Structure 1
Amino acid sequence: MAHLSSAQFQALRIAVLTVSDTRNLSTDSSGQTLIEGLEAAGHALVDRALVVDDIWQIRARLCAWIADPLTQAVLITGGTGFTARDNTPQAVAPLLDKTVDGFGELFRQVSRDEIGSSTIQSRALAGISNGTLVCCLPGSPGACRTAWEKILREQLDSRTRPCNFVPHLKTLPEQPALACGSRA
């Protein structure tokens, strides 16, 4: 079996979407946690948005990024609970070409050490649509940090063996060479 990894790091272009009826960009600590993690790992934040917890607004924002040839991954925080206003899983699931069933399972497993049996109330999910990895996470900074540090950092790193998600994502158009002949 061929390994789906590379010896060189490949920086990805990642968008972050926060789903919330109460936060704005200045109070969005969960989205900020994801941004800090992805940038520290060497990835680029391609866009950031915040929408209210409405199925159609979530889908509209997500569809634009899925269609964008320069967006390789979307990290969504919020709207994964059980209240009447938690609609992220219902909004996202129909848009996925393939689901990553193990994502929610692993997220709940690694979260158990931090929040105990309450982890069963997480509806975290992930999948791929049009070559874009879409990950839906709970709306707390702690949950976002757990997901980034224990799952996403490795799975979005092209060097992770035996496999990672990078080979399954959109290939970006060729970028012009820099003056010294290296690539951006």
Structure 2
Amino acid sequence: MSRIDEAKEFIPIRIAVLTVSDTRSIEEDRSGQTLVDRIARAGHEIADRRILRDERTEIADQLRVWIADPTVDVVISTGGTGLTGRDVTVEAHRDVYEKEIEAFGTVFTTISMEKIGTSAVQSRATGGVAGGTYLFALPGSPGACKDAWDGILEKQLDYRHRPCNFVEILPRLDEHQRRK
């Protein structure tokens, strides 16, 4: 079973938060604020925070900016993961992924099923890696952000989490680019 190894030192990481919405402002962004609050409470640093419209190219371009930024370890987006024509966040994430973390969506759906039943099937939460940066796309509701953070990301982004976590392999995510 998973656990926190209190003998290990906590390592804070730098996380950028992106809200994808055609209508929200920072003041109205409850989902993004939910993530910011949880990230800070866990002891991590908010590297940046933005709101972008549901435009695939704009989203992918912003992800690429953060991937290239050595001060960003993780990007978490919220919104645009549904099934409507304007929901293009998943496609934008996949445009930049080098590797997809397929189990992220599966685990998120499992957690969501406990809360919202079969409505969880409408979520397309996803996770991946590019340029040594983790990328996660979450649905645009505060509840979904809470579920993803509390149920997955809080643990996986804590270096002390056992038996394994995302932070311990962070330095090796781009090792293929360093090989000659």
State TM-score, norm by structure 2.
0.90
Spell out, residue by residue over 1:135-176, the C-alpha distance to the aligned partner (whole angstroms, 9 max, x if none).
0000000000000000000000000011100123259xxxxx
Query: How many correspondences in the alignment?
Result: 167
- Say which SS state the counterpart of residue 26 (structure 2) adopts: coil
Q: Does 1:74 align with 2:75?
A: yes
- Say which SS state the counterpart of residue 9 (structure 1) adopts: coil
Is the 2:60–2:95 contact (alpha carbons within 8 Å) kept by the matching residues of 1? no
- Say which SS state the counterpart of residue 169 (structure 1) adopts: helix
CA distance in 2, matches of 1:169, 1:48: 21
Quick one: structure 1 residues 168 and 130, their matched pair in 2 at CA, closer, same or farther if it must change by over 3 Å? Answer: farther
Q: Does 1:148 align with 2:149?
A: yes
| 2:159 counterpart residue number | 158
Q: Does 1:105 align with 2:103?
A: no
| Amino acid of the structure 2 residue aligned with 1:46 | A
User: Which structure has more helix as a fraction of its residues?
Assistant: 2
CA distance in 2, matches of 1:75, 1:50: 12
Cα RMSD after superposing both structures: 1.3
| 1:90 counterpart residue number | 91
CA distance in 2, matches of 1:131, 1:165: 11
| 1:56 counterpart residue number | 57
CA distance in 2, matches of 1:57, 1:68: 17
1:167-182 aligned at under 5 Å gives the runs 167-170=168-171
| 1:15 counterpart residue number | 16
Quick one: structure 1 residues 19 and 170, their matched pair in 2 at CA, closer, same or farther if it must change by over 3 Å? Answer: farther
Is the 1:131–1:168 contact (alpha carbons within 8 Å) kept by the matching residues of 2? no
Identical-residue share of aligned pairs (%):
48
Spell out, residue by residue over 1:1-43, the C-alpha distance to the aligned partner (whole angstroms, 9 max, x if none).
xxxx881110000000000011011100000000000100000
Is the 2:12–2:44 contact (alpha carbons within 8 Å) kept by the matching residues of 1? yes
Gaps of 5+ in 1: 172-184
Is the 1:66–1:130 contact (alpha carbons within 8 Å) kept by the matching residues of 2? yes
Is the 1:132–1:170 contact (alpha carbons within 8 Å) kept by the matching residues of 2? no
Is the 1:51–1:57 contact (alpha carbons within 8 Å) kept by the matching residues of 2? yes
Is the 1:30–1:139 contact (alpha carbons within 8 Å) kept by the matching residues of 2? yes
Q: Following TM superposition, where does structure 1 have runs of at least 4 consecutive aligned residues deviating by more than 6 angstroms?
A: none
Gaps of 5+ in 2: 173-180
CA distance in 1, matches of 2:44, 2:93: 23
Is the 2:35–2:145 contact (alpha carbons within 8 Å) kept by the matching residues of 1? yes
| 2:178 counterpart residue number | none
